[in-house]
Amino acid sequence: MTHTVRTLALLTLALALPTLAANSASAASYAIDNVHTSVLFKVSHFGIAPFYGRFNSVAGTFEFDAAAADRSKLSLQIDVASIFTADRKRDDHLKSPDFFNAKQFPTITLESARVKAGTARDTYVVEANLTVRGVTKAITFTMTKTGEGSDPMGNARIGFEGSFTINRLDYGVSYAPEGLGKDVTIIFAVEGIKG
Amino acid sequence: MDPVRALIDGVLAPVLVAAVVVLAIRRPWRSGRADTRGWGVGIALAAAYGIGFALVLGWPALPPVDVTHATPWLAIVAAAIAALPARAAALRRAAVGILGLLTGALLVSPLLDHGLGGASAALHVFLVGATFVLVDGGLERALTGLEPRAGALAVTTLTGGGAVAVLLSDVASLAQVTGGLAAGLGALFALGLWRPAAADVTRATPVVAAVLASTLWSAVLYANGRYEVVALLAASPLVLWRVGPAVARTRRAIVALAIPTLVILLPIGAAAGLAARAYFAEPAAETAPLAVPDSDSPAADGYDPNYGY
């Protein structure tokens, strides 16, 4: 009897070891590869058509653990001055106090507070704090892992994409509420290099 | 932007508030003591500006998160200074100078974290303070020698010119709310057609100075405003002071009313012209495509290790 109990205990421990090992391992860290990262925004123009612009400079890091999503973290810093809409006068206007006031608030930040696995495969629900123009609000969005692998230089890479919609008035970006939609959708695709 | 809504928020509401407040607080033409006459005009103009700001941009935060949205609070403090009795002239001048420097410090402080050096910051604080003092002192002196309605019309023109300059600096929202102050001043001018003393805005110059100095420098420091435009606008009350009263001494009332405005329009027109030239000179065409690298970027050498494909 004692022998049986001991055998069962050892067997249980052996079965649990991989899980324990996975849980004790730290999540892999990645640095955002700006060259292969896209942050776009979409806003309605007079209710006629959606208009898309982008931010050309994005920095940040993320940690990802597929086995334990709650260990994952995301930190993005978007350079407001890198806004690009294919028209310099419009870009200048967007950087002015009418919209982002880029000189006082040069960075838009997104910091995850909690990550959990989504219902669909390779999806993750991210609860994060978004700071725009000095105003921080909690948002929730879904990220999807789009792929992973190595580049020709041997760097391990992983990619995600996601989107969320905010009311720009909540962040003090209140100019022309009749002409430009209040709802702004942020669409992003990030690629990270394992570091 | 809905033009009807813009008209209501930026013009009609400030006109109504300025007229109601100035009539409610104190009917200027019935004030007995010269020492306190017109003390409520600054409050009426600050209220007119504040309501326009709240309707266009929302209620301003206190303390302000965005320093370019601090102007309503500055206008309230300036209105308190404007309400000081005439015998406290030295205190008033000192308070204007201190508020000007505080305005400068407020506007410049966020830039210290983003590359503005200490010497440059100190210079800009001084320039903002000097603009504040110059507009207030210049207007006060100029208006003392003018018929009230002529003075109100000239200050309305100056404030409107400031709004145009800010608009041409890519800050349409601040231009719109500055236009609200001009609308409030216009309301007092219109009241002056009924009761000339109602248009006396001599006591309210700190409010005008607070709005113009903080807004014009917001445009310079946080958008595409130009130094020479601010200099011309700040100096325009001095032109009015030196030339206005002399040329306004004419028997024809309409000419006496118009000449101070025409005098102050010269520097204002020059400022607006400079701002317009800068605004329209900028290329409206497409920004340089993304593929053009900076000279010091890795891709400039033909190879970026991160680029890959």
A10 lies in a domain? Answer: no
- Check CB contact of B303 with chain A, cutoff 8 Å: no
Rounded alpha-carbon distances, angstroms, from residue A113 to A127, B22, B70, B248 = 6, 52, 32, 68
pLDDT confidence bin for B27, thresholds 50/70/90: low
Q: What is the mean pLDDT of chain B?
A: 87
CB contact under 8 A, B65 and A172: yes
Mean pLDDT of B234-258: 80
Q: Determine the pLDDT at residue B24.
A: 86
Q: Is B28 left (phi over 0), alpha (psi -120 to 50) or beta?
A: alpha
A3 lies in a domain? Answer: no
Q: What residues of chain A lie within 8 A of the CB of B282, using their CB? A: 88-89, 92
Q: Determine the pLDDT at residue B196.
A: 83
Helix (H) or strand (E) holding A83: strand A83-84
CB atoms within 10 A of CB A147: 10
Distance from CA of A143 to the nearest CA of B (A): 23
Cα–Cα distance measured from residue A101 to residue B164, given in angstroms and rounded to the nearest whole number: 19
Q: Determine the pLDDT at residue B34.
A: 59
User: Of B2, B5, B66, which has the smallest distance from its Cβ to A101's Cβ?
Assistant: B66
Between residues B172 and B28, which one has the greater pLDDT? B172
Rounded alpha-carbon distances, angstroms, from residue A75 to A134, A185, B226 = 17, 19, 37
Specify whether the CB–CB gap between A111 and A87 falls below 8 A: no
- Comparing CA positions, the residue from B124, B145, B116 lying closest to residue B240 is B145
Q: Determine the pLDDT at residue A167.
A: 96
Between residues B57 and A7, which one has the greater pLDDT? B57
Mean pLDDT of A58-78: 94
pLDDT confidence bin for B35, thresholds 50/70/90: low
Q: Determine the pLDDT at residue B206.
A: 97
CB contact under 8 A, A103 and B221: yes
Specify whether the CB–CB gap between A163 and A123 falls below 8 A: no
Alpha helices of B30-171 — where are they, by DSSP H?
41-57, 71-82, 89-112, 118-144, 148-167
The pTM assigned to this predicted structure is 0.85
CB contact under 8 A, A104 and B110: yes
Q: What is the pLDDT of residues B200-217, one digit of tens each?
A: 899 999 999 999 999 999
CB atoms within 10 A of CB A194: 14
- State the angle between helix axes of B13-25 and B172-194 in degrees (0 to 180), rounded to the nearest 10: 50
pLDDT confidence bin for B254, thresholds 50/70/90: confident
A5 lies in a domain? Answer: no
Per the structure, the count of domains in chain A is 1
Pair of tokens at residue B173:
């929202």
The top-scoring range by mean pLDDT among A7-21, A102-116, B109-123 is A102-116
Mean pLDDT of B167-173: 94
Q: Determine the pLDDT at residue B253.
A: 76
What residue of B is the nearest CA neighbor of A175?
B173
Mean pLDDT of A26-41: 93
Q: What is the pLDDT of residues B276-297, one digit of tens each?
A: 999 888 565 554 444 444 544 4
A171 lies in a domain? Answer: yes
What percent of chain B stands above pLDDT 90?
Answer: 61
What residue of A is the nearest CA neighbor of B171?
A98
Residues forming a β-bridge with A140: A127
Q: Determine the pLDDT at residue B17.
A: 96
* Chain A interface mutation, best of B173, B178, B218, highest count of A Cβ atoms under 10 Å: B173
pLDDT confidence bin for B94, thresholds 50/70/90: very high
- Domain extent, residue A133, equals 27-194
- Comparing CA positions, the residue from A128, A124, A114 lying closest to residue A158 is A124
> Can you give the residue ranges of every domain in chain B?
3-281
ipTM of the complex: 0.82
Helix/strand/coil for A122? coil
CB contact under 8 A, B2 and A178: yes
CB contact under 8 A, B111 and A103: yes
Specify whether the CB–CB gap between B229 and A101 falls below 8 A: no
What CATH number corresponds to the domain at position A91? Answer: 2.40.128.110
Q: What residues of chain B lie within 8 A of the CB of A39, using their CB? A: none
User: Of B110, B172, B223, which has the smallest distance from its Cβ to A175's Cβ?
Assistant: B172
Q: What residues of chain B lie within 8 A of the CB of A172, using their CB? A: 58, 65-66
Q: Determine the pLDDT at residue A117.
A: 94
